[in-house]
Amino acid sequence: MTEPDLKPSNFLRQIIERDLAEGTYAQRHFGGSPGDAAHHAAGPRDPAKIRTRFPPEPNGYLHIGHAKSICLNFGLARDYSGVCHLRFDDTNPEKEEQEYVDAILDAVKWLGYEWKGNSTSHLYQASNYFDFMYRAAEALVTADLAYVDEQSAEAMRAHRGDFGKPGTNSPYRSRTTAENLARLREMRDGKLADGAAVLRAKIDMASPNINLRDPALYRIKRATHHHTGDAWCIYPMYTYAHPIEDALENITHSICTLEFEDQRPFYDWLLDHLCTLGLLAQPRPHQYEFARLNLTYIVTSKRKLRQLVDEGHVDGWDDPRMPTIVGLRRRGYTAASLRLLAERSGASKAGGWIDYSSLDIALRDDLDPQAPRACVVLDPLKLKLTNFADVFGSDGFQEPCHAPVHPAKPELGKREFMLTNEVWIEREDFMEVPSKGFFRLTPPRVDAAGVAQPGSKARLKYGVVVECTGFEKDADGVVTAVLATVVPDTKSGTPGSDAVKVKGVITWVSVSTGAAIEVRLYDRLFSEAQPEAGGRDFLTVLNPNSKKKISAFAEASLLYASAAAHFQFERHGYFVADRVEHAAGKPVFNRTATLKDVWAK
Ligand code: ATP
Ligand code: MG
């Protein structure tokens, strides 16, 4: 198992270390904010050794794949004396909302990162670069590197060719630069209808890389942008905007997922030309691609997550079954566990699937050494201690019992709860006829060989040893209570308490002093490891039993647990007080993950 703070080397680290050793970016200047070549040249030497960025489009809630990208980009910047920018890639006027912007800021902060470096905030918005992007477009047109194409969409598609077939030049490709410039200005000024023309790079219609066959740079779209309003009726294409955003911000290592690999030649073409034209600072950023994080039993696509929410398959973006950061957080996964998963999954060029259990393993590794323990009974069956009054004086007596808050951290002290004449135990801790190897509670009986067997003895954890004497059943044959007697002088922590040896230890909660709690048991949202394998509709493999609400009992202190507090419920796993619905006096807990199978046997 990898240690939490061990950072496995990956190819990105090697590239950064090479650049640092060679001083690739050592001479850069930084104008204190994003800007063109002149702006940066006027500033001092860039105090950041490297600059990375996390560039979400604010069109949905972030998911665990984004968490990976956040950890990677912010983590590399931290490790190599750099800074990581948080940039809203809001160049697409549609589908973007403030709600998502706020949620993204919150998610990055919660994951433990900040976008400040060298006392500057590096929170940026790509829509602030629209002026520069347009200026660069005019410069490309003037340099005969771009042209306005007025072919119909179908004609453009037909001229593009395909994998085996080179494209052919548009009839508009040979217009003069003056004509192109005039047309581009008409596009900008709203003189052309939506879709009537596009600005295209003039590269090579026969390139084997289809992305270099004169890609579109600008389109006409009358849409109100959430920041720039109606200032623009032309918007840059993502492939044009993204490299420019990186360059304006002095990014050194622009890290993205593998699907952008084929875009890299255009990224390089564009930035090289804009640098040569003197518009952008050098040395320019470079793009590096890594394989996206795929976890089994979830889907990670904002579009599909939205479908789950919109169609009511889950209770919202923060439903604890959702792989969104808000969902994972509400479920009880800690920021440290997500960082651990990101670290352990490394960064490589080879894609692949990581088993969902890796996330649970990371959670246990984070919480086991620190989460306070608590006793709860999830499937309650009443245990009546029939000689309680004889041993403790009266049936109303409360005998205080003590347990460590954390078994490995005595400095955290002890928790106290009461033993009373009736306690809740787990239904599975009683067997009328024991199976082989069952060491918990069984009544006196005559076995198959006709031999009378006494009732079993077991220890109520942190309490006393009890001996099972019988049980009660209702008319349907369902066991409604177990009867037992307290074995005197066996109270945990008192001298001689372990003189009576027992093999079974049982968790319990006092009936009269315990707290009623609501517990939500979550399971995988999909019943197939790869919900979309073979082109399957992921909605057809939703797990119908992914959420179960139960009424349970807990030691009294949980009544006042604070919201979002994490616990290990002894024997059951890791649970968190629900961030949204838990309240003092009305406790609601979510199961984050089960324990490793420590109780089996
Ligand atoms: P989605 O497909 O879910 O909508 P996206 O890539 O369109 O995701 P963006 O907001 O554009 O979403 O992504 C922001 C950053 O997060 C990008 O750099 C993207 O490459 C990265 N990212 C998205 N999904 C993953 C993933 N599964 N693993 C690693 N990085 C990811
Ligand atoms: Mg995207």
Token pair for residue 17?
């270390």
Q: Do the beta carbons of residue 53 and residue 77 sit within 8 Å?
A: no
The SS3 of residue 587 is: coil
For 410, 417, 482, the CA distances from 420, given in Å and listed in that order, are 26, 10, 15
State the catalytic residue, choosing from 49, 57, 304, 547: 57
| Residue list, ligand 1 pocket, CB within 6 Å | 55-57, 65-66, 68-69, 256-257, 292-293, 300-302
pLDDT of residue 97: 77
The arithmetic mean of pLDDT across residues 48-64, rounded, is 96
Token pair for residue 247?
């360059």
- pLDDT over 60 at 312, yes or no: yes
The arithmetic mean of pLDDT across residues 530-545, rounded, is 95
Banded pLDDT at 291 (limits 50, 70, 90): very high
Which backbone phi and psi does 208 adopt, to 5 degrees? -60, -25
Locate the ligand 1 atom nearest the alpha carbon of residue 255 and give its number. 18
Residues 6+ apart with CB under 8 A from 197: 148, 149, 150, 183, 187, 220
Locate the ligand 1 atom nearest the alpha carbon of residue 293 and give its number. 28
Ligand 1 mean position, distance from CA 233 (Å): 27
Among protein residues, the one with the nearest Cα to ligand 1's atom 22 is: 66
DSSP secondary structure of 195-210? TS-EEEE-S-TT-SSG
Among protein residues, the one with the nearest Cα to ligand 1's atom 23 is: 66
The arithmetic mean of pLDDT across residues 296-312, rounded, is 95
Active site (annotated) includes residue 292: yes
CA–CA gap between residue 184 and residue 136 (Å, rounded): 12
Residue with tokens 């119909």: 152
Residues 6+ apart with CB under 8 A from 463: 399, 401, 419, 491, 492, 508
pLDDT of residue 93: 86
Q: Where are the strands (E) in 278-406, listed by range?
A: 286-290, 294-295, 353-354, 373-374, 376-377, 380-385, 399-404
Q: Do the beta carbons of residue 370 and residue 406 sit within 8 Å?
A: yes
Ligand 1 mean position, distance from CA 47 (Å): 29
Ligand 1 mean position, distance from CA 68 (Å): 9
Banded pLDDT at 350 (limits 50, 70, 90): confident
Nearest to 100 by CA among 58, 70, 64, 63: 58
Among protein residues, the one with the nearest Cα to ligand 1's atom 1 is: 301
Among protein residues, the one with the nearest Cα to ligand 1's atom 15 is: 56
Q: Where are the strands (E) in 19-156, listed by range?
A: 51-54, 83-88, 116-117, 120-121, 123-125, 146-149
Q: pLDDT, tens digit, for every residue of 400-425?
A: 999 999 999 999 999 999 999 999 99
The arithmetic mean of pLDDT across residues 450-478, rounded, is 97
**Could you tell me the pTM of the whole model?**
0.93
CA–CA gap between residue 183 and residue 408 (Å, rounded): 74
Other beta carbons within 10 Å of 473: 11
pLDDT of residue 96: 65
CA–CA gap between residue 278 and residue 294 (Å, rounded): 41
Token pair for residue 176?
């003069």
Nearest to 468 by CA among 387, 571, 570, 378: 387
- pLDDT over 60 at 189, yes or no: yes
Among protein residues, the one with the nearest Cα to ligand 1's atom 13 is: 56
Ligand 2 mean position, distance from CA 238 (Å): 9
Other beta carbons within 10 Å of 83: 25
- pLDDT over 70 at 11, yes or no: yes
DSSP 312: T
Tell me the sheet residues that pair with 419: 399
Ligand 1 mean position, distance from CA 326 (Å): 16
State the catalytic residue, choosing from 302, 364, 440, 520: 302
Token pair for residue 513?
């002093």
Residues 6+ apart with CB under 8 A from 117: 48, 77, 82, 83, 84
CA–CA gap between residue 469 and residue 455 (Å, rounded): 6
Q: Out of 10, 242, 257, 302, give the residue to mutate to test ligand 1, the one with the largest number of ligand atoms within 8 Å of its CB.
A: 257
Q: pLDDT, tens digit, for every residue of 77-113?
A: 999 999 999 999 999 987 667 889 999 999 999 999 9
Ligand 2 mean position, distance from CA 235 (Å): 16
Cis peptide before 404 (omega within 30 of 0): no
Token pair for residue 98?
């403030």
Among protein residues, the one with the nearest Cα to ligand 1's atom 24 is: 65
Q: Tell me how long the chain is.
A: 601
Q: Out of 66, 300, 302, give the residue to mutate to test ligand 1, the one with the largest number of ligand atoms within 8 Å of its CB.
A: 66
Residue with tokens 């001229």: 159
Ligand 2 mean position, distance from CA 342 (Å): 20
Q: pLDDT, tens digit, for every residue of 190-208?
A: 999 999 999 999 999 999 9
Locate the ligand 1 atom nearest the alpha carbon of residue 70 and give its number. 16
Among protein residues, the one with the nearest Cα to ligand 1's atom 26 is: 65
Nearest to 391 by CA among 316, 524, 488: 488
CA–CA gap between residue 102 and residue 91 (Å, rounded): 17
Q: Do the beta carbons of residue 329 and residue 505 sit within 8 Å?
A: no
Q: Out of 53, 63, 69, give the residue to mutate to test ligand 1, the one with the largest number of ligand atoms within 8 Å of its CB.
A: 69
CA–CA gap between residue 542 and residue 332 (Å, rounded): 22
Active site (annotated) includes residue 57: yes
Banded pLDDT at 8 (limits 50, 70, 90): low
Active site (annotated) includes residue 524: no
Ligand 2 mean position, distance from CA 354 (Å): 22
Among protein residues, the one with the nearest Cα to ligand 1's atom 2 is: 301
